[in-house]
């Protein structure tokens, strides 16, 4: 009797995502990126990194940085990221990031770094602290990605330049030493929407803006109600999706569509004959209903510090093991004596 061959499961592609603990993520972060992360777990081998090394290019209050890093880990689990299925870790717990970053610094040119538009933008915002880390952090970002041989990296429009320099560095290094790094591709989520500032709807919602401009994922119901009530709309009272001429109203409609899954046409039709008060009231209920269960789980995790520590220790152990494979290969190729 002929023996049937056992099918070998196809190896999953690896995705790395990082988020800085420089403040609580906004509703825009959740809609645009974070809620999609849970959907990736079944299809990809996922690593989710709290990018605390990146955050210190801007001065941080030490106690606050520690608190925000812990809170961010709890929040990642609260949105449904299972630490048994995903690697959740703090960047600073894996020293190989900094070590590979130094090596890659020596394979990156000043001219390449000088063309980074985010350095120019951040230098203008933090003119009193234009430090070397601010200049070279795209190289640390490249190290983050290349260390884990990531196939895919979720990127927004403001990060495409950083992915390109990462690809350039990897290709250059491979050209000198052989096939060392996986050259990553950008991953563009199927689901996502760009959420704009509540007060300046022509600009992206950002946690670095004044409080009334964004909804934090940990805002209570009263704060959410107040912020949406004060959100900029338009001079006329008609409700229509027209980002160019009615950016404020269009932004509110975008949020509702993203959170409910309803089509824009259906939502606009439901407000026929109604004013902005109805839109803001309905949207407030939708946002509160979305965030309340996440906040409940977040509070449960924050009340169990022993479990949080267990998760970040296990995450660091797994991440370090993966990182060591790449770093050992790099060190040998460059010519360093093995320990």
Give the model confidence (pLDDT) of 227-253 as tens digits.
999 999 988 888 999 999 999 999 999
State the pLDDT confidence band at 196, using cuts at 50, 70 and 90.
Answer: very high
Residues of the chain with CATH 1.10.240.10: 211-301
The catalytic residue among 194, 207, 280, 333 is 207
Calpha distance 232→199 (Å, rounded): 5
**pLDDT band, very low/low/confident/very high, at 269 (cuts 50, 70, 90):** very high
pLDDT surpasses 80 at 158: no
Which is higher by pLDDT, 130 or 89?
A: 89
Nearest C-alpha neighbor of 158 from the set 107, 194, 130, 199: 194
The pLDDT assigned to 9 comes to: 57
Nearest-CA neighbor of 78 among 171, 212, 217? 217
pLDDT at 190 over 80: no
Q: Which of 86-95, 117-126, 271-280 has the lowest mean pLDDT?
A: 117-126
Average pLDDT over residues 21-44: 89
Let me know: does 268 contact 254? Beta carbons within 8 Å. no
Residue 123 has a pLDDT of 67
Mean confidence (pLDDT) of the chain: 91
| 178 backbone φψ class: left, alpha, beta (φ>0; ψ -120 to 50) | left
Q: pLDDT tens digits, residue range 138-156?
A: 999 999 999 999 999 988 7
Q: Which pTM value belongs to this model? A: 0.89
Is position 122 annotated as part of the catalytic site? yes
Q: What are the two backbone dihedrals, phi and then psi, of residue 154, each rounded to the nearest 5 degrees?
A: -65, 125
204 is known as an active-site residue: yes
Distance CA 136, CA 133 (A): 5
Q: What is the mean pLDDT of residues 297-320?
A: 98
Class at the top of the CATH hierarchy for domain 211-301: mainly alpha
Residue span(s) of the chain under CATH 3.40.50.620 come to 14-187+304-334
The active-site residue, picked from 38, 85, 125, 204, is 204
Helix/strand/coil (H/E/C) assignment for every residue in the chain: CCCCCCCCCCCCCEEEEEECCCCCCEHHHHHHHHHHHHHHCCCCEEEEEECHHHHCCCCCCHHHHHHHHHHHHHHHHHCCCCCCCCEEEEHHHCCHHHHHHHHHHCCCCHHHHHCCHHHHHHHHHCCCCCCHHHHHHHHHHHHHHHHCCCCEEECCHHHHHHHHHHHHHHHHHHHHHCCCCCCCEEECCCCCCCCECCCCCCCECCCCCCHHHCCECCCCHHHHHHHHHCCCCCCCCCCCCCCCCCHHHHHHHHHHHHHHCCCHHHHHHHCCCCCHHHHHHHHHHHHHHHHHHHHHHHHHHHCCHHHHHHHHHHHHHHHHHHHHHHHHHHHHHHCCCCC
Indicate if the pLDDT at residue 293 is higher than 90.
yes
Residue 250's contacts (CB-CB under 8 Å, 6 or more residues apart) are 201, 240, 241, 242, 243
Q: What is the pLDDT of residue 115?
A: 84
Q: Note the CATH number of domain 14-187+304-334.
A: 3.40.50.620
Its sign, for the CA torsion 237, 243, 245, 248, is positive
Quote the pLDDT of residue 1: 44
333 is catalytic: no
């Amino acid at each position: 009797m002929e023996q049937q061959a056992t099918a070998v499961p196809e190896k999953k592609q690896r995705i790395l995502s990082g988020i800085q603990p420089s403040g609580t993520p906004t509703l825009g972060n959740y809609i645009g990126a974070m809620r999609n992360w849970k959907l990736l777990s079944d299809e990809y081998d996922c690593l989710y990194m709290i990018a605390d090394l990146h955050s210190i290019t801007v001065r941080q209050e030490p106690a606050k940085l520690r608190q925000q890093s812990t809170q961010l880990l709890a929040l990642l689990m609260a949105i449904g990221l299972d630490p048994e299925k995903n690697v959740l870790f703090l960047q600073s717990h894996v020293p190989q990031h900094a070590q590979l970053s130094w090596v890659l610094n020596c394979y990156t040119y000043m001219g390449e770094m000088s063309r980074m538009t985010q350095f120019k933008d951040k230098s203008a915002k933090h003119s009193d602290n234009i430090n070397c880390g601010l200049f070279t952090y795209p190289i640390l970002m490249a190290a983050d990605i290349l260390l884990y041989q990531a196939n895919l990296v979720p990127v927004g429009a403001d990060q495409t330049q950083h992915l390109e320099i990462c690809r350039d560095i990897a290709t250059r290094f491979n050209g000198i030493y052989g096939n060392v790094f996986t050259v990553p591709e950008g991953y563009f989520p199927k689901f996502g929407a760009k959420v704009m500032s509540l007060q300046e709807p022509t600009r992206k919602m950002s946690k670095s803006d004044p409080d009334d401009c964004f909804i934090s994922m940990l805002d209570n119901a009263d704060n959410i109600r107040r912020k949406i009530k004060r959100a900029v709309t338009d001079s006329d009272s008609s409700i229509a999706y027209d980002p160019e001429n009615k950016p404020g109203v269009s932004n509110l409609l975008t949020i509702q569509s993203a959170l409910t899954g309803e089509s824009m046409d259906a939502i606009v039709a439901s407000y026929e004959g109604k004013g902005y008060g109805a839109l803001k009231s309905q949207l407030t209920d939708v946002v509160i209903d979305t965030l309340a269960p996440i906040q409940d789980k977040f509070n449960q995790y924050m009340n169990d510090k022993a479990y949080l520590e267990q998760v970040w220790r296990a995450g660091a152990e797994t991440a370090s093991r993966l990182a060591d494979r790449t770093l050992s290969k790099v060190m040998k190729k460059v010519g360093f004596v093995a320990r």
